[in-house]
Amino acid sequence: MSISHVVAVQMCSTMNPEKNFLQLKQWLTDCNLKKPTLVCLPETWLAFMQTAEQSLSLSKQYEYWLTQLGQLCRAFNIWIAAGTMPVYGEQNKYYAASFLLNERGEVVARYNKIHLFDADVADGSGGYRESKSTIAGTDVVVVDSPFGKIGLSVCYDLRFAGLFQAMSELGAELFLVPSAFTTVTGQAHWAPLLQARAIENQCYIVAAAQCGEHENGRKTHGHSLILSPWGDVMADAQQTLGCISAQIDLAQLHQLRKDMPVQVHNRFKSEFYE
């Protein structure tokens, strides 16, 4: 069957992982999950920290939290795409890692955020220097699943069309973009960038986002979106916390690709210049 259900959970994560995890469990109980379901969590779903030291210390406990997530997968009979969690790397730095777990709670993929947010934004934050504490990933990840071939990305990655084209060339049909966009950049760029990535690659997108004023003092844009390969907004969380959902239909995706074969027409595929 080519139809399945996807859910994005919009969160306002605190600095307390236990609290965020319990909140997530509550939302999963509240939203009436149809099977098979892929539940997508935002960037920093487990905890949105204030200092690199706090994230570093959490990065040494990720295995415990993966076990907890695995239990949720089995209890609800769902796949979970776990936005990002810090995972200890080396020299007091961590990866911003996103994991995909199947309904048995097994980790079937891991992606390390490739593009790190070193940027100044006029939002009163004083600027972001993610690379000071985070090690950049290097590998493009596309993995097969009952929901189609899933391409993993995180937040700032969204600005780099080349990554999405690379995932497309590996066969991606559904992109996940767990995020914690700033309010300033989110208002201007979030929806148009997501729509462009969906339309140009003819892929579904589930973009679960952080939303609101956080305990760590940050403000995030929200507007978790689920988009069709045509660029239609199938669900928009606006500023509401909890679950949004939509149905994905891979037969429709393949019909669209047949009607307008942009991937065949593309003269800038890597095979032409590598």
Catalytic annotation, pick one of 43, 93, 103, 173 = 43
Binds ligand KGT by CB under 6 A, chosen from 76, 175, 181, 204: 181
Find the part of the chain contacting ligand KGT (CB under 6 A) among 13-21, 177-185, 238-246, 266-274: 177-185
The Cα 267–Cα 260 span in angstroms is: 15
Instruction: Tell me whether residue 155 is one of the annotated catalytic residues.
Output: yes
Q: How far is the CB of 5 from ligand KGT (least distance, A)?
A: 27
Quickly count: other Cβ atoms within 10 Å of residue 34's Cβ: 12
Contact status: 156 vs ligand KGT (CB under 6 A): yes
Q: How far is the CB of 116 from ligand KGT (least distance, A)?
A: 7
Binds ligand KGT by CB under 6 A, chosen from 45, 76, 95, 117: 117
Nearer to ligand KGT, 126 or 271 (CB): 126
Q: How far is the CB of 132 from ligand KGT (least distance, A)?
A: 10
Contact status: 87 vs ligand KGT (CB under 6 A): no
Binds ligand KGT by CB under 6 A, chosen from 56, 68, 130, 136: 130
Which residues contact ligand KGT by CB under 6 A? 43-44, 48-49, 55, 117, 128, 130, 155-156, 159, 180-182, 185, 189
Active site (catalytic) residues: 43, 113, 155
